[in-house]
């Protein structure tokens, strides 16, 4: 038998289990000065959670470096292979929105690790949180690097060039802000454990980081799958962290009510935000219309319904946490029967002048695929996209203010920040004596009942509160559209041409300029609602719930 | 394959020329130098705030609205007329961070593995063996305390640049504490009678270490993230950290036939050079703030007084360790003088004094 190098050099070492045991013994209970208090929580956790991954930094760093080498090697290879010659602009344009949003939630997740690290006794899981902190730093900066790479190599860099400024200002990115700020603000357990790890990372990163890269590849973009599948490979450790802390929280019966509340809030809001954005990217950013491929709805059923709901959420019931099965069914109905994603895409298209990317119109080939996957789609959206194509030429009356289409600008949901697009589900309620609008009863419940200082008779002083100018339209209420776009800095270097365009025609003669959109006044629907008398408001809400009909486009 | 959704049949840069087609740099921040560095491109403004671009203000607040939004300037007592000015001199982003950390852990493992194969530990002086178990074993807990303090601190800074520099600092400390832990555990397998628990007992009970533990716990207990960052890099590290790592373990080990410990520890000294540069730059910006210079200077002086006094107490209590090895190539007073000179230089760069 041949002797191998391994046999000659093999050496007795300590086991992984022993190594993690020793590392988890590095902490101690301070006696001179207590550790600084961190952000508050209404939860009580007395059981020390375990680190399920049992990994140490000496293996973690080389592993991540190797992953990086593959990512950056692939990016170089993509350029050598002239990837951008073949890439579909319809797809890359949506990456201006997606990549404007995602680095902030990622780095927020790094900050979240500080918040959860001291919640539970023991040091075991703190090592896991430390690695997640560094992971999230990786994700945030690797994604910024990808965006810079797109900017340098894609045909139209405008929109990538203002990316982080645009993130703070745009009426679409505000939805992503709710996601990222939700990880780091409010009750620590609610934000950094339940909203971030237990729901966002465990359930929705599958659609974010697995489903979306598949669609990118179908559109000639091999870079996004390279980066995001590498990112996703870190997520299993994060899911383990969240689950471990969740198990520790479950040990205390007095946490069960809060767990029920937070699982409900986090699932619903992740659905509302992630499905709005990722659903739109996948369904409307693609040029690939193979009928055999899964639709977003089908992927959702696989990843969220079968994988997450059935195998992760449901088993929590046996630990005594009430699971709201109806919420999951309702989210599914919204994605299928109520065509949530399609209404979001329609809303983004209506608001294109206030975006910072190009939105392509949909064609007959797209219509056929949508009708095949979402029966009834054409009757509801076909005429709209014909209008959109027709009104994409500069000189036409901008679609946002074009009454001929029949579209009615929506109210904004105070909770998820996606507008109230499923009109029949819109509800209103008061907070601190002021009216607010909500996309769904569960959004109302979130803002009014869950984010409150008392929940079902139990004081919850640590819970956060929704604040700021959450209705984006409030910021530019009364402004001329052209002035608002200029103020947003969504104008190209000549000071006239808009960064966003409602088409993919890369010629100066086809570009919309400020002069083409001037003369239309923006208004806050919420402000108008608040100014109404009770009777007028009731009538307005009843009318709103009836919805609208898109006029035929001839 | 042709890009079907492009009017020019391609999605590549240069396939068409139109307004904006040449705008290939992030244009929403002012670079520190003439051109933005890669670090700046992937770091600046990723954590936004109402001063820079958040036109809707923070949209969620803590504690029913009483606790303010996600990031608050008053998370530190220091004041700044521009929190966004700081750029970390080490220019660290994910790729450089993993490359550096990976090289270090690989180097450390090779050192330990080769030394064990060569039986290097059999030549260790007996007294030195006990010193490693007790005092290097205790020191790993000090490093852990610094690492967790920095992990805590990276949540609170007002900008991405501050928080990321704090985060990588934490990552370096956590790596070091694990490097030491696993090093001791591994050589312990080859040495009869090795007590791997002695380090923690020493840390918790030995009077020599209690002032150090108090200094560390005081940093851990601070609710001001910048105070934690300042106390660690400007005070504790030059006075105690370098004194113990370089002034004792690295200089004394070889004379006691230990050629393994110095390279295991050495990476930490290089880590500190980077973190010190970051910390000095940040403090320099604050001390030279156009509006708050005096306030910050006075604040930093108060931190020097508080943490300097604890660090001095720690240093003096550690003195007996220098007497414990059989071979004593350096004297405590000499290395202490070096560390005093070192902190004098650091504070001098900032225009501060002890």
- Chain B environment of A145 (Cβ under 8 Å): 38, 41-42, 93, 95
A163 at interface of B, judged by CB pairs closer than 8 A: yes
Q: For B107-114, what is the mean pLDDT?
A: 95
For residue B64, CA distances in Å to A461, A464, B50 come to 7, 5, 20
Q: Which residue has the tokens 């970051």?
A: B278
CB A159 within 8 A of CB A96: yes
State how far the Cα of B293 lies from the Cα of B78, in Å rounded to an integer.
10
* Integer Rg of chain A from CA: 25
Q: Which residues pair with A437 in a beta bridge?
A: A428
Chain A nearest CA to B121, separation (Å): 15
Tell if the CB–CB gap between B12 and A82 is shorter than 8 Å. yes
State how far the Cα of A263 lies from the Cα of A317, in Å rounded to an integer.
12
CB B5 within 8 A of CB A142: no
A501 backbone dihedrals φ, ψ, rounded to 5°: -145, 145
CB A160 within 8 A of CB A96: yes
Give the whole-number percent of chain A exceeding pLDDT 90: 88
pLDDT digits (tens, 9 = 90+) for B127-160: 999 999 999 999 999 999 999 999 999 999 999 9
Per DSSP, the residues of A200-260 read: IIIIIHHIIIIIHHHHHHHTT--HHHHHHHHHHHHHHHHHHHHHHHHHHHHTSGGGHHHHH
- Chain B environment of A167 (Cβ under 8 Å): 48, 53
Locate the DSSP E strands across B28-120.
Answer: 60-61
- Best residue in B8, B94, B205, B214 to probe A by mutation, most A CBs within 10 Å? B94
What DSSP designation does A480 have? B
CB B239 within 8 A of CB B308: yes
Summary mean pLDDT of chain A: 95
A40 at interface of B, judged by CB pairs closer than 8 A: yes
| Number of CB atoms found within 10 A of residue A22's CB | 20
Chain A nearest CA to B329, separation (Å): 30
Of B61, B151, B203, the CB nearest to A114: B151
pLDDT digits (tens, 9 = 90+) for B189-198: 999 999 999 9
**Predicted confidence band of residue B309 (pLDDT cuts 50, 70, 90):** very high
What is the distance, to the nearest Å, from the Cα of residue A82 to the centroid of all Cα atoms in its chain?
Answer: 30
Of A152, A287, A497, the CB nearest to B13: A152
B117 at interface of A, judged by CB pairs closer than 8 A: yes
Burial label for B141, CB within 10 Å (0-12, 13-18, 19+), is buried
Residue A1 has pLDDT above 80, yes or no: no
Which A-chain residues 384-443 have CB contacts (< 8 A) with chain B?
A: 417
Tell if the CB–CB gap between B5 and A508 is shorter than 8 Å. no
Q: Residue B297's pLDDT is what?
A: 98
For residue B104, CA distances in Å to A133, A412, A542, B186, B271 come to 19, 51, 66, 17, 10
Q: Residue B134's pLDDT is what?
A: 98
* Integer Rg of chain B from CA: 24
Q: What pairing do the DSSP bridges indicate for beta strands A465-466 and B60-61?
A: antiparallel
Q: Residue B1's pLDDT is what?
A: 62
Q: For B184-190, what is the mean pLDDT?
A: 95
| pTM beyond 0.90, yes or no | yes
Residue A358 has pLDDT above 80, yes or no: yes
pLDDT digits (tens, 9 = 90+) for A407-436: 999 999 999 999 999 999 999 999 999 999
Tell if the CB–CB gap between B69 and A61 is shorter than 8 Å. no
CB A392 within 8 A of CB A361: yes
B34 at interface of A, judged by CB pairs closer than 8 A: no
Residue A62's closest chain B neighbor by CA?
Answer: B102
- What count of CB pairs under 8 Å joins A to B? 372
**Predicted confidence band of residue A124 (pLDDT cuts 50, 70, 90):** confident
pLDDT digits (tens, 9 = 90+) for A130-167: 899 999 999 999 999 999 999 999 999 999 999 999 99
Q: Which residues pair with A466 in a beta bridge?
A: B60
State how far the Cα of B248 lies from the Cα of B319, in Å rounded to an integer.
10
Tell if the CB–CB gap between A464 and B43 is shorter than 8 Å. no
Burial label for A526, CB within 10 Å (0-12, 13-18, 19+), is buried
What is the distance, to the nearest Å, from the Cα of residue A434 to the centroid of all Cα atoms in its chain?
Answer: 28
Residue A217 has pLDDT above 70, yes or no: yes
A349 at interface of B, judged by CB pairs closer than 8 A: no
Q: In angstroms, how far apart are the furthest CA atoms of chain A? A: 92
Q: For A264-279, what is the mean pLDDT?
A: 97
- Chain A environment of B185 (Cβ under 8 Å): 14, 18-19, 22
| Number of CB atoms found within 10 A of residue A501's CB | 28
B118 at interface of A, judged by CB pairs closer than 8 A: no
Sequence-separated (6 or more) residues with CB below 8 Å from residue B104:
A61, B175, B179, B267
For residue A82, CA distances in Å to B11, B14, B289 come to 10, 12, 48
B61 backbone dihedrals φ, ψ, rounded to 5°: -130, 155
Count helices and strands in chain B by DSSP H and E runs? 13, 1
Query: Count of alpha carbons within 13 Å of A350, Cβ hemisphere only?
Result: 22
Per DSSP, the residues of B83-100 read: GGG---TT---HHHHHHH
State how far the Cα of B18 lies from the Cα of B96, in Å rounded to an integer.
36
Query: Count of alpha carbons within 13 Å of A507, Cβ hemisphere only?
Result: 9
Q: For A12-22, what is the mean pLDDT?
A: 88
Residue B184's closest chain A neighbor by CA?
Answer: A22
Output helix, strand, coil percentages for chain B, rounded to the nearest 5: 65, 0, 35
What DSSP designation does A286 have? -
What is the distance, to the nearest Å, from the Cα of residue A496 to the centroid of all Cα atoms in its chain?
Answer: 31
Tell if the CB–CB gap between A35 and B214 is shorter than 8 Å. no
Of B29, B57, B105, the CB nearest to A62: B105
A235 backbone dihedrals φ, ψ, rounded to 5°: -65, -30
Taken as a whole, chain B contains a residue count of: 354
State how far the Cα of A481 lies from the Cα of B222, in Å rounded to an integer.
49
pLDDT digits (tens, 9 = 90+) for B213-245: 999 999 999 999 999 999 999 999 999 999 999
pLDDT digits (tens, 9 = 90+) for A168-202: 999 999 999 999 999 999 999 999 999 999 999 99
Helix axis angle for B293-318 and B332-350, nearest 10°, is 170
Helix axis angle for B261-287 and B332-350, nearest 10°, is 30
**Predicted confidence band of residue A34 (pLDDT cuts 50, 70, 90):** confident
- Chain B environment of A504 (Cβ under 8 Å): 5-7
Output helix, strand, coil percentages for chain A, rounded to the nearest 5: 60, 5, 35
What is the distance, to the nearest Å, from the Cα of residue B297 to the centroid of all Cα atoms in its chain?
Answer: 22
State how far the Cα of A483 lies from the Cα of A94, in Å rounded to an integer.
24
Q: For B334-354, what is the mean pLDDT?
A: 97
Residue A8 has pLDDT above 70, yes or no: no
Sequence-separated (6 or more) residues with CB below 8 Å from residue A429:
A435, A436, A438, A444, A447, A448
pLDDT digits (tens, 9 = 90+) for A218-237: 999 999 999 999 998 888 88
Q: Which residue has the tokens 């059981």?
A: A47
State how far the Cα of A407 lies from the Cα of A218, in Å rounded to an integer.
32
pLDDT digits (tens, 9 = 90+) for A46-103: 988 887 777 899 999 999 999 999 999 999 999 999 999 999 999 999 999 999 999 9
Q: For B115-134, what is the mean pLDDT?
A: 94
Which A-chain residues 171-190 have CB contacts (< 8 A) with chain B?
A: 174, 177-178, 181-182, 184-186
């Amino acid at each position: 038998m041949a002797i191998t190098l391994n046999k000659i050099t093999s050496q007795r070492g300590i086991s992984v289990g022993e190594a993690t045991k020793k590392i988890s013994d590095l902490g101690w209970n301070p006696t001179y000065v207590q550790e600084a208090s961190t952000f508050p929580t209404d939860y009580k956790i007395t059981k020390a959670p375990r680190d399920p991954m049992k990994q140490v930094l000496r293996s973690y760093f080389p592993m991540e470096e190797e992953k990086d080498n593959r990512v950056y090697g692939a990016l170089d290879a993509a350029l050598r292979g002239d990837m951008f010659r073949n890439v579909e602009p319809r797809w890359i344009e949506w990456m201006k929105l997606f990549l404007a949003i995602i680095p902030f939630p990622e780095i927020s997740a790094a900050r979240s690790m500080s918040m959860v690290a001291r919640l539970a006794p023991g040091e075991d899981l703190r090592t896991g949180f430390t690695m997640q902190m560094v992971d999230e730093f990786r994700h945030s900066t690797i994604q910024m690097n990808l965006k810079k790479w797109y900017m340098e190599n894609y045909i139209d860099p405008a929109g990538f060039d203002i990316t982080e400024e645009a993130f703070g200002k745009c009426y679409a990115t505000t939805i992503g802000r709710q996601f990222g700020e939700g990880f780091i603000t409010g009750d620590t357990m609610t934000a950094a454990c339940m909203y971030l790890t237990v729901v966002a990372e465990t359930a929705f990163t599958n659609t974010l980081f697995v489903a979306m890269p598949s669609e990118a590849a179908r559109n000639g973009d091999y870079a996004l799958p390279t980066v995001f599948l590498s990112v996703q490979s870190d997520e299993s450790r994060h899911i383990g962290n969240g689950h471990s802390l969740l198990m520790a929280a479950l040990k205390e019966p007095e946490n069960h009510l809060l767990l029920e509340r937070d699982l409900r809030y986090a699932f619903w809001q992740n659905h509302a935000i992630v499905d709005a954005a990722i659903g739109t990217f996948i369904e409307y950013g693609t040029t690939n219309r193979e009928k055999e491929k899964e639709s977003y709805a089908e992927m959702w059923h696989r990843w969220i319904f079968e994988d997450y709901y059935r195998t992760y959420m449901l088993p929590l019931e046996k630990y005594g946490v009430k699971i709201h099965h109806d919420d999951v069914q309702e989210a599914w109905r919204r994605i299928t029967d109520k065509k949530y994603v399609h209404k979001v895409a329609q809303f983004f298209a209506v608001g294109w002048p206030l975006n910072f990317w190009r939105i392509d119109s949909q064609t007959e080939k797209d219509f056929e695929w949508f009708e095949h996957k979402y029966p009834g789609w054409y009757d509801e959206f076909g005429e709209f996209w014909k209008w959109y194509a027709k009104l994409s030429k500069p000189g036409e009356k901008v679609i946002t203010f074009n009454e001929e289409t029949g579209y009615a600008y929506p109210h904004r949901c105070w909770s998820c920040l996606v507008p109230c697009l499923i009109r029949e589900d819109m509800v209103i309620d008061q907070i601190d004596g002021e009216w607010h609008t909500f996309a769904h009863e569960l959004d109302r419940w979130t803002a009014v009942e869950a984010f409150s200082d008392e929940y079902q008779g139990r004081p919850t002083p640590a819970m956060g509160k929704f604040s700021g100018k959450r209705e984006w339209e409030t910021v530019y209420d009364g402004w001329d559209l052209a002035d608002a776009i200029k103020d947003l800095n969504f104008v190209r270097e000549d000071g006239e041409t808009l960064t966003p365009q409602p088409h993919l025609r890369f010629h100066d003669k086809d570009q919309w300029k400020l002069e083409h959109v001037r003369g239309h006044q923006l208004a806050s629907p919420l402000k108008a609602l608040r100014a109404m008398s009770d009777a007028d408001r009731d009538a307005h809400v009843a009318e709103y719930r009836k919805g609208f009909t898109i006029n035929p486009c001839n | 394959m042709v890009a079907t959704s492009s009017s020019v049949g391609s999605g590549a840069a240069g396939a068409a020329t139109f307004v904006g087609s040449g705008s290939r740099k992030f244009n929403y921040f002012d670079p520190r130098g003439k051109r933005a560095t890669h670090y700046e491109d992937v770091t600046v403004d990723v954590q936004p705030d109402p001063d820079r671009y958040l036109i809707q203000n923070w949209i969620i607040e803590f504690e029913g609205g009483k606790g303010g939004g996600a990031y608050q300037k008053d998370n530190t007592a220091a004041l700044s007329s521009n929190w966004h000015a700081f750029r970390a001199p080490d220019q660290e982003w994910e790729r450089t961070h993993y490359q550096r950390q990976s090289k270090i852990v690989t180097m450390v493992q090779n050192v330990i593995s080769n030394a064990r194969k060569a039986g290097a530990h059999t030549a260790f002086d007996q007294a030195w063996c006990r010193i490693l178990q007790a005092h290097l074993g205790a020191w790993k807990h000090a490093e852990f305390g610094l690492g967790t303090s920095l992990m805590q601190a990276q949540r609170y800074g007002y900008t991405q640049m501050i928080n990321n520099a704090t985060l990588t600092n934490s990552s370096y400390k956590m790596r070091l504490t694990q490097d030491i832990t696993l090093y001791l555990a591994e050589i312990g397998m080859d040495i009869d009678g090795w007590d791997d628990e002695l380090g923690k007992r020493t840390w918790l009970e030995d009077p020599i270490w209690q002032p150090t533990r108090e200094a560390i716990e005081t940093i851990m207990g601070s609710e001001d993230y910048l105070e934690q960052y300042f106390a660690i890099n400007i005070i504790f590290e030059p006075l105690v950290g370098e004194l113990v790592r370089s002034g004792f373990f690295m200089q004394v080990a070889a004379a006691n036939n230990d050629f393994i410990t110095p390279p295991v520890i050495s990476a930490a000294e290089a880590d500190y050079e980077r973190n010190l540069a970051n910390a000095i730059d940040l403090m320099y910006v604050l001390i030279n703030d156009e509006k708050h210079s005096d306030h910050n200077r006075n604040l930093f002086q108060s931190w020097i007084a508080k943490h300097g006094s604890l660090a001095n107490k720690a240093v003096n209590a550690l003195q007996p360790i220098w007497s414990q090895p059989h071979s004593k190539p350096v004297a405590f007073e000499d290395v202490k003088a070096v560390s005093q000179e070192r902190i004098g230089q650091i504070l001098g760069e900032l225009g501060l004094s002890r």
